[in-house]
């Protein structure tokens, strides 16, 4: 009995050691963030993180503890099963750890259920990983795996060697011991069970994120993905709805920018087109030149940080829901309005162009709900054209789009979602900048995409459709590169938007109103005198209304800003990450109302 008790203690402590070492590796892997920490904050990460480590160690220990009960009667089989179970567990949590440290570097939040949506698209998942330091990650994985397999085999499992069968009454001791695991699993004796907020202890958001146990977070978000409870309830429901309704009120246009209200429309959704590149010398000369010919929206912000969220925001005017991918929930996505559907009802021909796998993120199903009558994807290109990790490069798809435009015999709404500036940033031309680091490769891919756009617009200017066509160029989301912006920072979410073409009656104009991707739909449909009431989260950027703001959401938080106030709020720790401006408390209430009502709308669909 003594050996079993010692093994139980050692086994539980083994997992605590595993996760504390993993946390140490995580902190040092995020070197840029490490510089924010003083020694006291550094130590507190491990002290406060221990609570969540104990919770997941409790989960991992439950099966071995149950098998210890059976070992009182059948010792050998139980010992073998514990060993196999533990080895598999070490492998699984080691794989999850490698995913976590790299995804946090790129996305800025700990591993959660959102990674699961990539499993159905392994080719795209592999392509995205090509820009990661794979050799370093593999080395970390192997060292961690071998180290803890060794520790378990030589210092933990040997405690089971030579255990004997015991009398029946001693089984009750281990039944009680197993039952007591509920204490660390729940996080203690409090009324509230373990959750992410339990380990948030600082105003430094990276310190709070580092304290979270990645494995606990992954399985918690996976298991409770279908939970129908809104986790973000800050105020009375009627009050939240009233604030949101006022913020997203539809105003009439104070400016008419179109020569007629039924132009052809080409919407170009540019992968990872961050506003930061506009000031990078020589990177986007074509776009910067075209800015002088159209209407440039200076203060546009993406609603979220991934492509599936950006597409929903642009096409369906649907805000980002933190931690959720509505496109993966087809029962919900099918209920969304779509600008393509609105224009199809006005006798527009609709088409969607993408050089990659149209089933990625279940995109094809979503597009079918939006009444896109013609969809181009990688299957529509020859094998020789599929020379990108993701599919066909931008200049090839632009040619397919040009051919379709020249064949159109009625007003059209064509959308092109680019891909060449996606990780791993492979391009089919000689790069502008020398270097193989991630930032240089990203800037080179943006430069190539800019040249492809410039060539396309030049060809369109020479065609007969130019005079009656509106081109809208906007990003699907921003980017942490260049300069490695923090995952919650406004500069990561700021994106360019340009309206261009012969259909415009004004040119060389800058719109300073703060807006989001969700506002594109209402702004465009209002110019066309088409009803846009079903797009409830969309505002008209050409109105004189006072609700001038941009809102974006990231994992467990949001940002809200205009030219006088900026707030960034972490809903996990219920604290500001950043705040600037005299109206920060007012904006916090506004942001909370938006988060609460959008989340509730997601669950109600």
User: What DSSP line would sit under 296-334, residue for residue?
Assistant: EEEEEE-SSSSHHHHHHHHHH-----TT--GGG-HHHHT
Q: Is the pLDDT of residue 227 over 70?
A: no
**Domain contains 240:** no
Question: Tell me, what's the pLDDT at 473?
Answer: 98
Q: Are residues 256 and 129 in the same domain?
A: no
Label residue 191 by pLDDT band (50, 70, 90): low
Chain segment 420-441, per-residue pLDDT in tens: 999 999 999 999 999 999 999 9
The pLDDT value recorded for residue 47 is 96
Q: Are residues 472 and 436 in the same domain?
A: yes
| The two structure tokens encoding residue 571 | 């809903």
Q: Do the domain assignments include residue 595?
A: no
Question: So what's the pLDDT on residue 254?
Answer: 82
pLDDT value of residue 118: 64
| Higher pLDDT among residues 394 and 158, named by residue | 394
Q: In sequence order, which residues have a C-beta less than 8 Å from that of residue 292 and are 6 or more positions away?
A: 507, 508
Question: What is the β-pairing status of strands 494-500 and 295-301?
Answer: antiparallel
- 49/101 same-domain check: yes
Main-chain phi, psi angles of 553, to 5 degrees: -125, 145
Average pLDDT for residues 44-53, to the nearest whole number? 95
> What mean pLDDT is reported for the chain?
91
Domain end, chosen from 523, 544, 565, is at: 544
Percent of the chain with pLDDT over 90: 71
pLDDT at res. 528: 97
**Eight-class DSSP state of 115:** G
Residue 425, pLDDT score: 95
As for how many domains the chain has, the answer is 2
- 352-376 pLDDT, tens digit per residue, is 999 999 887 778 888 988 889 899 9
Same domain? 257 vs 180: no
Beta-carbon count within 10 A of 554 CB: 24
Check residue 469 and give its pLDDT: 98
Where among 544, 564, 582 does a domain terminate? Answer: 544
205 found inside a domain: yes
SS3 category, 162 = coil
Closest CA to 310 of 350, 352, 272: 272
Position 584 scores a pLDDT of: 93
Residue 98 covered by a domain: yes
Is 377 in the same domain as 464? yes
Q: Which of 194, 218, 222 is nearest to 93 (CA)?
A: 218
Tell me the percentage of the chain whose pLDDT exceeds 70: 93
pLDDT of residue 166: 62
Same domain, yes or no, for 148 and 209?
yes
Per-residue pLDDT reduced to its tens digit, 119-133: 666 565 566 666 678
> What tens digit of pLDDT does each residue of 74-83 get?
666 788 899 9
Task: Check which CATH number belongs to the domain holding 461 and give it.
Answer: 3.40.720.10
Q: Tell me the β-bridge partners of 412.
A: 349
Backbone angles phi, psi at 417, to 5 degrees: -100, 110
- Largest Cα separation within the chain, whole Å, is 92
Give the structural domain span for 141. Answer: 2-223
Band (pLDDT 50/70/90 cuts) for residue 174 is: confident
Residue 252 clears pLDDT 90, i.e. is over it: no
d(CA 101, CA 98) in angstroms, rounded, equals 6
Which contacts qualify for 175-184: CB closer than 8 Å, 24 or more apart?
Answer: 175/69, 177/5, 177/8, 177/65, 178/62, 178/65, 178/66, 178/68, 178/69, 181/58, 181/61, 181/62, 181/65, 182/58, 183/58, 184/54, 184/55, 184/57, 184/58
Place of tokens 């030589």: 154
The candidate with the shortest Cα–Cα distance to 19, out of 48, 39, 49, is: 49
- Predicted pLDDT at 30: 92
User: Higher confidence at residue 524 or residue 217?
Assistant: 524
Give the pLDDT of residue 119.
62
The pLDDT assigned to 225 comes to 61
Q: What is the pLDDT of residue 383?
A: 93
Q: Are residues 141 and 282 in the same domain?
A: no
Q: What is the mean pLDDT of residues 128-142?
A: 85
Check whether residue 196 and residue 81 sit in a common domain. Answer: yes
Encoding tokens for residue 78? 């139980």
Domain endpoint, select from 522, 544, 566: 544
Same domain, 361 and 213: no
């Amino acid at each position: 009995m003594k050996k079993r008790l010692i093994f139980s203690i050692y086994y539980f402590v083994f997992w605590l050691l595993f996760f504390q070492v993993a946390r140490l590796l995580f902190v040092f892997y995020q070197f840029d963030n490490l510089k924010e920490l003083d020694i006291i904050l550094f130590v507190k990460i491990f002290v406060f993180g221990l609570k969540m480590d104990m919770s997941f160690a409790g989960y991992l220990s439950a099966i071995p503890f149950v098998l210890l009960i059976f070992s009182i009667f059948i010792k050998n089989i139980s010992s073998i099963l514990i060993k196999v179970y533990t080895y598999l567990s070490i492998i699984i949590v080691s794989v999850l750890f490698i995913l976590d440290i790299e995804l946090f570097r790129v996305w800025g939040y700990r591993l959660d259920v959102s990674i699961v949506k990539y499993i159905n698209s392994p080719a795209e998942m592999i392509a995205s990983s090509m820009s990661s330091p794979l050799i370093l990650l593999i080395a970390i994985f192997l060292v961690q795996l071998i180290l803890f397999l060794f520790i378990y085999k030589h210092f933990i499992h040997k405690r089971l060697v030579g255990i004997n069968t015991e009398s029946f009454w001693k089984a009750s001791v281990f039944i009680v011991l197993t039952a007591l695991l509920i204490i660390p699993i729940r996080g203690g004796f409090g009324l509230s069970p373990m959750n992410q907020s339990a380990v948030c202890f600082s105003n430094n958001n990276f310190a709070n994120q580092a304290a979270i146990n990645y494995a606990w977070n992954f399985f918690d978000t996976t298991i409770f993905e279908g939970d129908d409870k809104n986790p973000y309830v800050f105020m009375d429901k009627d009050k939240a709805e009233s604030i949101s309704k006022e913020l997203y009120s539809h105003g009439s246009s104070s400016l008419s920018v179109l020569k007629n209200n039924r132009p052809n429309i080409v919407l170009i959704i540019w992968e990872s087109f961050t506003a930061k590149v506009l000031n990078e010398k020589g990177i986007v000369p074509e776009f910067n030149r075209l800015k002088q010919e159209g209407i440039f929206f200076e203060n546009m912000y993406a609603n979220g940080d991934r492509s599936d969220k950006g597409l929903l925001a642009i096409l369906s005017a649907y805000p980002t829901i933190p931690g959720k991918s509505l496109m993966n929930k087809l029962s919900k996505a099918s209920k969304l309005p779509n600008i393509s559907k609105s224009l199809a009802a006005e006798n527009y021909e609709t088409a969607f162009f993408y050089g990659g796998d149209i089933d990625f993120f279940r995109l094809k199903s979503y597009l079918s709900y939006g009444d896109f009558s013609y969809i181009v994807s990688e299957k529509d290109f020859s094998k020789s054209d599929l020379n990108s990790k993701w599919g066909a490069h931008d200049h090839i798809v632009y040619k397919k789009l040009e051919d379709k435009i020249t064949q159109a015999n009625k007003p059209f709404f064509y959308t092109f979602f680019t891909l060449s500036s996606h990780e791993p940033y492979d391009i089919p031309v000689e790069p502008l900048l020398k270097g193989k680091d991630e930032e240089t490769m990203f800037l080179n891919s943006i430069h190539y995409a800019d040249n492809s756009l410039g060539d396309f617009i030049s060809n369109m200017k020479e065609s007969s459709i130019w005079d009656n066509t509106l081109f809208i160029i906007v990003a699907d989301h921003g980017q942490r590169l260049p300069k490695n912006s923090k995952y919650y920072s406004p500069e990561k979410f700021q994106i360019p938007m340009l309206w261009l073409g012969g259909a415009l009656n004004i040119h060389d104009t800058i719109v300073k109103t703060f807006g989001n991707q969700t506002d594109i739909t209402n702004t465009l449909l209002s110019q066309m005198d088409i009803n846009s009431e079903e797009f409830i989260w969309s505002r008209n950027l050409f109105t004189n209304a006072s609700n001038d703001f941009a809102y974006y959401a990231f994992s467990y938080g949001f940002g809200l800003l205009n030219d006088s106030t900026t707030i960034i709020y972490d809903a996990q720790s219920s604290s500001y990450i950043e705040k600037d401006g005299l109206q920060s408390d007012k904006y916090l209430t506004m942001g909370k109302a938006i988060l609460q009502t959008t989340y509730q709308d997601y669950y109600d669909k």
